[in-house]
Structure 1
């Protein structure tokens, strides 16, 4: 790569020198502050040789370069010297104060996103059981049916426990102490006491006789309070006594407040929200369906759709159904229909292939690839998707379509709709898909010219014969539970732009070498490191999401660039508790950056690993 040429092209496509306020880089990305984002030629940047992708995080524009990011950054600083003088000031940008709405949306998303796979899987099973019961294929007294019902209902009945763990991670409280707090709500002695129809009091203060099974809001608010109380005692109690007295004091203070104040108030708020949704559907069904069905995709872009998740779960738990979730189905089918319309109308083979594949993905319940990759890109298809969603939503709410379980809003989630209104649900989704497809065909869209840009003639590079790599085992660099990259909130890692791998939710704060080899580089803020094994595997390890903003706080490097390391040698120490207290996802991300040199990269552990356990198996390509 000609770094200076690439730097000049990037500067030009960013809108020129005057549009760039500041520049710094992390282990893989250029991070820029720009005066006017509208001046950026995003498509040309995306297609530029050496650029793996682009991303917008808040007001920060990111260009994904990969392992050569440092050289490209230096080349840009050579072209614009003032960027080098501002680099130190911008390496640790202070996070802007977020609005209350933005903070609330991010919090709801951070709590509910991790639990969706569990409730979606159980919801699909719940729908299938309902289907079997409706067609008379099984009797409700059948013992196998009853056990399967318990499997499908368990996560919904005990959802405060699941939410407690997730909220603990989000708010920076101990997730295990959070679960202990939630478990109080289900203790048989307390449940019996609250059902006794006798007044219940704690130290003379009344405790409301409410049931917390399947509740959502009370435990989230209680864990939020717990995070502050636990933090207070962590600062106050001496280290030698923390293990015993911090949990004790935290539970003694928070649990009574939860039972006396937060719990009853949370139940009332949840019931009020559910009642509001029911009123809206009963009194403004068609209009509500048209407005929300037509704007839900816009809500998805802003993250506001997560506000609906706790309401939907509460409705299903309290009423046995939700009258509103059909909107999520029709919105996804609208995006699928618009992308399918692009497939039918486009003359570009590349666009047709992308549109068809993302249309199918949206039908399966994941609309973002179709929305961002096709419909928004061509503009008019996105408008067609909104129109399709409005038509399907208006029809569905007019006919009173109900959803009986929480599941993915796509074809795999159809069993959750099985019931008296199942037929109307199918018609609603067909309307959304068909209208979006038809409107896309009628409106059309402007397709980019397919003529490739003229490039300067360059000297032919010397191509070296590829080195034959050997299969090898990568060992766990930290103790913790495993998570696929696709679950990460950072799309660069989730989409495997840098390669395949796995994430580990750490239980300790010491990162050790997963291979025998050498250190490529430790990033300046000590939150990321690259390694090369003796067998040729190139491994990137990144601690936490967006930890570059900490500017090295909570991280201590234990090795230097070029140093030889053995499996298990300490690499970086990090303060896990401090990361959680700052509400940072501490996931340790392990990526094999030369994944294309291996025929298979698979995890060899099930759910959790100890340090130096077998972790990833790399199978070399046959030569």
Structure 2
């Protein structure tokens, strides 16, 4: 029986407070993410009762409606029911009466900037991983024209990452997107890159030689300053000349700042964060991976895991790999799937069994929200299985020093993200961690779970 996505969308929009209560809408792999003007108008209990909604999470200015694998169909139907503005923040909305903390605003901002980047980064990254796997197995040569074409096509999503950050961030801040992309683009112009490499001297000052492609933090700082410059000149500029005067002044002021100050500062911030995480990992090692894996279900339930995404993207683009968040996510994701399958085998409730089987399969493939909100958060014994499987699987993964080479939700379909051409055992140990997380979580859930009276 086909699902009624129109009815689902109508229920969501009604209980979210109507389209007029939404300042920004986007979706990830399983959730509709609404930036809300007034959270008091959101009817959370009715949202949870809506058929097709797996759960609701409120964090600061965001209300996240968990849909599961049907999120794209639901998103398209929601868009038909109102005019949902892209960009705009609660701080800019005069009708907003909620008192939102700085941390919640920062998390909402990070999600708005980085979440739209994930599909392109993950798709490109997994393609590169499969190409590396084919070379490792001798099925393809890295001199093959097909390999060269596809590898460079996939690399484009990372090479132009500064421009992609400029696009999503300017959209979130309701700025002129084209101007933002163009000004950030100054940093990756071939002539600028060549001049920096040769020693670009301006007014007796030699600019720091930085390769800006693949970078995240320089673009974040550049667009932040651009936001205030654009806002200032929009305010003082006569309307008759605003169309060209404001962009011109943005180029004149922000472009030099980008190369003199903002770009180097952002680059060094990114390097510092990556260095700190690597130091933490090298100091705590397997303990850090295991502990993060064990607490991930609670972080995800509150949306806090998204705060780790900028680090993961930066680490992969700077160091070429990531050793903490993605490996821990592998242990957690598979543990969610194993725990659900344990419940499915134990329960006598037909509806729960069907939901647990579907959620378990999704979890094994890296999509955990159906498992988390449909099964494990609702059943304490099942969550015990998740934590146990994630912790022990995380121990194995941490001890093996597994590296991830793609920023995406790890699962069976994306295990190529652990292919290391210089270390073939990396993916082998990733599968070992996969198996340990699955077996432990399944066993603990199967033994402990009992149907409630």
Q: TM-score, normalised by structure 2?
A: 0.79
Post-superposition Cα deviations, 1:85-109, rounded to whole Å, max 9, x if no partner, equal: xxxxxxx963433222222211111
Q: Is the 8 A contact 2:333 2:363 kept in 1?
A: yes
Q: Is the 8 A contact 2:59 2:303 kept in 1?
A: no
Post-superposition Cα deviations, 1:172-215, rounded to whole Å, max 9, x if no partner, equal: 2211111101210111221111001x3522x4555221111111
Post-superposition Cα deviations, 1:207-263, rounded to whole Å, max 9, x if no partner, equal: 221111111111012112211211221121122211111111112111222211121
Residue 442 of structure 1 pairs with residue 443 of structure 2: no
Provide closer, same or farther for how the CA distance between residues 32 and 191 of structure 1 changes in structure 2, counting only shifts above 3 A: closer
Match for residue 86 of structure 2?
Answer: none
Post-superposition Cα deviations, 1:428-476, rounded to whole Å, max 9, x if no partner, equal: 11111221111112221453x5xxxxxxxxxxxxxxxxxxxxxxxxxxx
Match for residue 286 of structure 1?
Answer: 286
Q: Is the 8 A contact 2:61 2:108 kept in 1?
A: no
Match for residue 233 of structure 1?
Answer: 233
Residue 222 of structure 1 pairs with residue 227 of structure 2: no
**How far, CA to CA, are the matches of 1:119 and 1:261 in structure 2?**
27
**How far, CA to CA, are the matches of 1:52 and 1:215 in structure 2?**
37
Residue 368 of structure 1 pairs with residue 369 of structure 2: yes
Q: Is the 8 A contact 1:158 1:214 kept in 2?
A: yes
5+ unaligned residues in a row in structure 1: which ranges? 1-22, 65-91, 450-623
Residue 392 of structure 1 pairs with residue 393 of structure 2: yes
Q: Is the 8 A contact 1:388 1:435 kept in 2?
A: yes
Q: Which has the higher strand share?
A: 1
Q: Is the 8 A contact 1:230 1:247 kept in 2?
A: yes
Match for residue 263 of structure 1?
Answer: 263
Match for residue 184 of structure 2?
Answer: 182
Q: Is the 8 A contact 2:161 2:213 kept in 1?
A: yes
**How far, CA to CA, are the matches of 1:226 and 1:208 in structure 2?**
21
Q: Is the 8 A contact 1:33 1:61 kept in 2?
A: no
Provide closer, same or farther for how the CA distance between residues 24 and 326 of structure 1 changes in structure 2, counting only shifts above 3 A: closer
**How far, CA to CA, are the matches of 2:52 and 2:163 in structure 1?**
43
- Which SS does the other structure have where 1:211 is aligned? coil
Q: Which has the higher helix share?
A: 2
Provide closer, same or farther for how the CA distance between residues 436 and 52 of structure 1 changes in structure 2, counting only shifts above 3 A: closer
Provide closer, same or farther for how the CA distance between residues 437 and 348 of structure 1 changes in structure 2, counting only shifts above 3 A: same
Post-superposition Cα deviations, 1:123-181, rounded to whole Å, max 9, x if no partner, equal: 11111101011111122211221111101111111111111101111122211111101
Match for residue 123 of structure 1?
Answer: 125
Q: State the aligned residue count.
A: 388
Q: TM-score, normalised by structure 1?
A: 0.58
**How far apart are residue 328 of structure 1 and its match?**
1.3
RMSD (Å) for aligned C-alpha atoms: 3.0
User: Which has the larger Rg?
Assistant: 1
5+ unaligned residues in a row in structure 2: which ranges? 1-14, 22-37, 66-93
Match for residue 254 of structure 1?
Answer: 254
Of structures 1 and 2, the one scoring higher in RCO (CA 8 A, sep 6+) is 2
Match for residue 173 of structure 1?
Answer: 175
Residue 327 of structure 1 pairs with residue 332 of structure 2: no
Post-superposition Cα deviations, 1:546-580, rounded to whole Å, max 9, x if no partner, equal: xxxxxxxxxxxxxxxxxxxxxxxxxxxxxxxxxxx
**How far apart are residue 118 of structure 1 and its match?**
0.7
